[in-house]
Amino acid sequence: MTALELWILAAGLAMDGFALSVSGGIFLKRLQWRIVLKNAFLFGFFQMLMPAIGWAVSSWFNRVIDDFDHWIAIILLAIIGSRMIYDNFKAPSRKNRTIDFSNTRVVLALAAATSIDALAIGMSLSFLGASTIASLVWPVVIFGLVSFLFSVAGYLGGLSFGGFRKFQPELLGGIILIGIGMKICIQHLLANL
């Protein structure tokens, strides 16, 4: 995976946290840096932690499935991307619920929930050749940094633009993940010709 693809993947993964942060900014009404930075840190931290856990779990059994691991990565990306796209269009009433973004336990739960996708991406990284901890450090740092920055931007955007809700980051994130999965598929098919 190239550096550009890694940054694009990180942006796709950060979209759920970004969407929640936009909502958080709308609900905050005024800029509260302590809440914004704490919540953005939690989103970024979980986007770093979950891929590491996924990588560790998949590394244990990666040797067993070495011949078809790229197909697992493609399937995981397609499932995650499809779910993000589906969530974008489902239950508009669910999106209108009020969340207390100043409550750390609530934000911890949200950060963990939005980073479940990153757990599967960590597994995919293992299947795609990240065979050592050193090869995992760069991707998880990028995932955490991008998620942190997107969350801060989401809060600021939500505070600045009440109508910003019309942007559909889950849809964009899902399309990005499916696109990366398709690229991996094409690369592996061409490599085996």
Domain boundaries along the sequence of the chain: 3-191
Listed residue (120, 155, 132) closest to 33, CA to CA: 155
- Residue 49: its pLDDT value, please? 93
More confident residue, 126 or 37: 37
State pLDDT tens for residues 46-90.
999 988 888 888 766 656 655 665 676 677 667 766 776 777 777
**DSSP for 116-164, written as a single string:** HHHHHHHHHHHHTT--SHHHHHHHHHHHHHHHHHHHHHHHHHHHH-GGG
More confident residue, 96 or 184: 184
Alpha-carbon gap, residue 143 to 122, rounded angstroms: 11
Question: Would the pLDDT of 97 be above 80?
Answer: no
Listed residue (148, 142, 173) closest to 21, CA to CA: 148
For residue 44, what pLDDT band results from cuts at 50, 70 and 90? very high
More confident residue, 103 or 124: 103
Alpha-carbon gap, residue 135 to 140, rounded angstroms: 10
Inter-CA distances, 5 with 35, 41, 73, 106, 180, Å: 31, 23, 14, 32, 8
Of 13-27, 136-150, 173-187, the range with the lowest mean pLDDT is 173-187
